[in-house]
Structure 1
Amino acid sequence: MIDDTAGEGPPLAGHVPFLLFWVARVLAGMGLQIVAAAVGWHVYDLTHSAMALGLVGLAQFAPMVLLTLPAGQAADRFDRRYVVAVSQTCAGLAALVLTLGSLEGWLTTGWIYAAVMVVGGARAFLNPAMAALLPGLVTTEQFPRASALSSSANQAATIAGPAAGGVLFAFGAGVPYALTAFCFLTAALLMLAIRPLRRLEGVKGARLADLFGGIAFIRRQKIVLGSISLDLFAVLLGGATALLPIYADQVLHAGVLGLGFLRAAPAVGAIAMATCLGFRPLRARVGRTMFAAVIAFGLATIVFGLSRDLVLSLVALMVMGAADNVSVVVRSSLVQLATPEALRGRVSAVNFLFVGTSNQLGEFESGLLADLIGAVPAVVLGGIGTIAVALFWIRLFPGLARLESFAEAARLGDSQPIG
């Protein structure tokens, strides 16, 4: 049970378990972003084939889908620190293979795809275990702030990682791969040094029903189902960022430099909002705040879709990033706090599968719709659809809309049966 009577507890700035977790998340996020950028450059340099680049995405996506449910069960059966550390170590070893192959000249696309599959499989175990670990490091009162700061770590890696991967590749493919290995292996060591507030005993037995326990719980717990499904459909409809190259070239006439600014703008807005939430965490009306953030995301998407001015478009994208961060922080907090500790790994695995799938399907939906009716109508309709989903979900999940605090969500989670 999460203690919600201890006030805010020690400040996070001096809270060693959370600081170790935060630094480890930054390093792991940087590693993922650097290797993604470097692999993309490297595969294209070797093949000059768009299909080869597409296979890189498939090599990452396939193991994540196949291993999601086993990864969730592993996060609930074993010490989550060890699950995260082993995952990061496997990813680091894959990066070392890429480093040695690049330096010695024997690295082929086959080896790259194999290494990417290992990283994708490691990520399948890493994400749910890391998300489920965080509530055990802080109190309920600290958790919203911790979640916001954890999100800022991910956004910082999203901004800095691709740039570092691209720049370092100019000095040889082995350089970004070596830095990736360093990031992952150092993160693993930091994870092993964490001492959580509570010890998870784990789930006993190995029944097939345990594997699907996260899905069964999500169906029962309306708050969790509502928050995950809201994000799923909002992202499916609001995938405007997939069309940024078209906007930079044909709508805003901003060129490659403008495209770089457009890609960075959502992450800048997200980091700014995450920093604000870190210092001023949400305490009341969390359900309404999440729905308001999704509606704001839809409105900003419409503004971006209609804009012909680069500055206005950048502002709209930053608002989209900020609103999305509010939604992510509230959703992730609700999912973790409203879930019994013994189920958090499996529920987090399902959550990450939905989020990852919706991002990719949302990009596909936006590209397909833009091909049929044009980029501007596709983005505007996506924003309208996002708002419509939020309004419909308010009626479909009234308990989620009325939820007042994260402590209330934690009490609901404590009262839920595990089986």
Structure 2
Amino acid sequence: MNTPILTKKDPYAALRYPDYRFYILTRIFLAIALQIEVVSIGWHVYEITKDPMSLGMIGLVEILPNFAVTLFAGHYADIYDRKKIVISCLFVVMLSGVGLYTITHMVPDNNQQLSLFYVVIAITGLARGTLSPSMFSILTECVPRDNYVNSTSWSSTIWQIAYMLGAGVSGFLFAYIRYDAYLVVSVLVLCGIISFSFISPKPHLMTKEKRAPMLDSIKEGISYVFKNQVFLGALSLDLFAVLFGGAVALLPIFANDILKVGPQGLGFLKAAPSAGSFIMAAINIYWPPVKNTGKKLLFAVFGFGVCMIIFALSKNFYLSVFILAVSGACDNISVVVRGTIMQTLVPPDMKGKVSAVNSVFIGSSNEIGAFESGAAAKIMGVVPSVIFGGTMTLLVVIFTTFRAPKLKNLNFE
């Protein structure tokens, strides 16, 4: 399938637009904040429970409310002020950091702390589920169409730099300032809100006369995805790869019980995928995956599965960090290809609702994948569960290769 994308030769083209720069700055603050929060909560919860299932519950508690609102959020992202929606959701995320800090300092009982943590995580899930469709839709409004590949590559690069920085710093923050790290989260999100407020207002895409009823709008977005083999194949690959192959939720166990490197080591393990993703994203800026795009996507997801199997078997901290970095590089190819597909193939007045369906696929794969990892580790053991997940990822890639020929033959050149 040939879908030509005319990209400017200037590798910094997207960064020359002020709105895009403010958008990227917001993502930097948000990514660092979320990584600090995730690492701190993961270590904190495992410190209280010593139970891998409790780590899986973190993902489940977040994804259930996220899943409940995302499709509705996609509908509203196409008819209301996306900028106001984003700022409102970021404000809730900011308050979640304050809530976590307050709980740890004012609730002495560990069981009560754990229950309240899950409540705050659920509220954050609601906010992030509402945020995602509007956030993505605004991205496509910050640059012209011929810069979509470049803007996706830069967005991914900056996000991974911020994730890498946040993950690397988070372990040390939690080790030295402990629960005060949750306040750092709130300050960073506040900076993101300030940055986002400088983006110029974006006009509504639909008049009241053209707005479909909410349920019809949601059905339209779902129908669009399931009728598009390329889109559905790319989303399914990411969904099942992360659902079965992700070991991120179990990293506190690997750091504490297998590799024995403590919270500082956990920070490096969390940062490693982002480091690999950053390197690949930087490569994609200069040499975007526009030739044999589908084949490169399938190869990358297959490589991700192989990395998960090797990581599970590794007993060496440095090898584990390296393999996680390679897995991040593979994942970045998937992110760039999927983002380019979304920006290019989806009509402007459907980006919110289709992005919502994308969020259900991708967001749910991360959090449900965390729950699956915790549950599988509880049943099989930590190492066998990760080997099983990596093997399932390889089988999904093989199945998709034969069942989605349009995706395999996708070519943006």
Normalising by structure 2, we get a TM-score of: 0.82
Is the aligned partner of 1:154 residue 2:159? yes
Residue 79 in 1 paired to residue 100 in 2? no
CA shift, 1:302, in A, is 3.5
Partner in structure 2 of residue 355 of structure 1:
362
Partner of 1:65: 67
Report the alpha carbon displacement of residue 304 of structure 1 after superposing the two structures with TM: 3.2
Stretch moving more, 19-28 or 113-122: 113-122
CA separation of 1:31 and 1:373: change in aligned 2, threshold 3 A: closer
Contact 1:223 / 1:338 at 8 angstroms: preserved in 2?
A: no
Q: Which moved more, 1:325-334 or 1:258-267?
A: 258-267
Structure 2: distance between partners of 1:122 and 1:299: 34
- Which 10-residue stretch deviates more, 340-349 or 112-121? 112-121
The 2-side partners of 1:124 and 1:277 are apart by 28
Match for residue 215 of structure 2?
Answer: 208
> What secondary structure sits across from 2:200 in the alignment?
coil
- Whether 1:141 and 2:143 are equivalent positions in the alignment is no
Matched to 2:276, the amino acid is G
Cα offset for 1:298? 2.4
Deviations along 1:54-88, one digit per CA (max 9) or x if unpaired, are: 77555533321221111111211123222212211
What does residue range 268-347 of structure 1 map to in structure 2 within 5 Å?
268-347=275-354
Aligned length: 400
Please list every run of 5 or more consecutive structure 1 residues that lacks an aligned counterpart in the other structure.
407-419
The farther-off stretch of 305-314 and 284-293 is 305-314
Compute the displacement of 1:295 (Å).
1.8
Alpha-carbon separation, structure 2, partners of 1:250 and 1:90: 35
Return closer, same or farther for 1:329/1:198 CA change in 2, 3 Å cut-off: farther
Q: Relative to 1, partners in 2 of residues 1:373 and 1:125: Cα closer, same or farther, differing over 3 Å?
A: closer
After superposition, the Cα gap between the structure-2 partners of 1:372 and 1:190, relative to the gap in structure 1 and judged at 3 Å, is closer
Shift of the 390–196 alpha-carbon distance from structure 1 to 2, 3 Å rule, reads farther
What's the CA shift string for 1:365-392, capped at 9, x where partnerless?
A: 4455555555555444433332222122
Cα distance in structure 2, aligned partners of 1:221 and 1:158: 31
Change in Cα spacing, 1:138 to 1:279, as seen in structure 2 (3 Å) is same
Alignment partner of 2:124 out of 119, 131, 144? 119
Partner of 2:231: 224
Q: 1:339 Cα deviation (Å)?
A: 1.4
Higher mean C-alpha deviation, range 189-198 or range 220-229? 189-198
Between the aligned partners of 1:237 and 1:94, the Cα distance in structure 2 is: 29
- Take 2:310 and 2:120, find their aligned partners in 1: how far apart are those partners? 41
Q: Does 1:262 align with 2:269?
A: yes
Residues 286 and 199 of structure 1: CA distance in aligned 2, closer, same or farther (over 3 Å): farther
Letter in 2 for 1:149: W
The percent of aligned pairs where both chains have the same amino acid is: 34
- Name the CA distance, whole Å, in 2 between partners of 1:106 and 1:385: 41
> Residues 39, 223 of structure 1: CA spacing in aligned structure 2 closer, same or farther, 3 A cutoff?
same
Q: Which amino acid aligns with 1:182?
A: V
Corresponding residue of 1:31 = 33
Native 8 Å contact 1:17 1:196 kept in 2 = no
Return the match for 2:184 from 172, 179, 185: 179
Question: Residue 184 of structure 1: CA displacement?
Answer: 2.2
CA, structure 1 residues 172+234, in 2 after alignment: closer, same or farther (shift >3 Å)?
closer
Give 5+ residue unaligned stretches, structure 2.
none
Partner Cα separation in structure 1 for residue 321 and residue 120 of structure 2: 36
1:152/1:275 contact within 8 Å kept: yes
Q: Which stretch shows the higher mean deviation, 226-235 or 25-34? A: 25-34
Letter in 1 for 2:83: R
Give the distance between the partners of 2:161 and 2:201, measured in 1 at CA.
25
Distance 1:40 1:363 in 2: 11
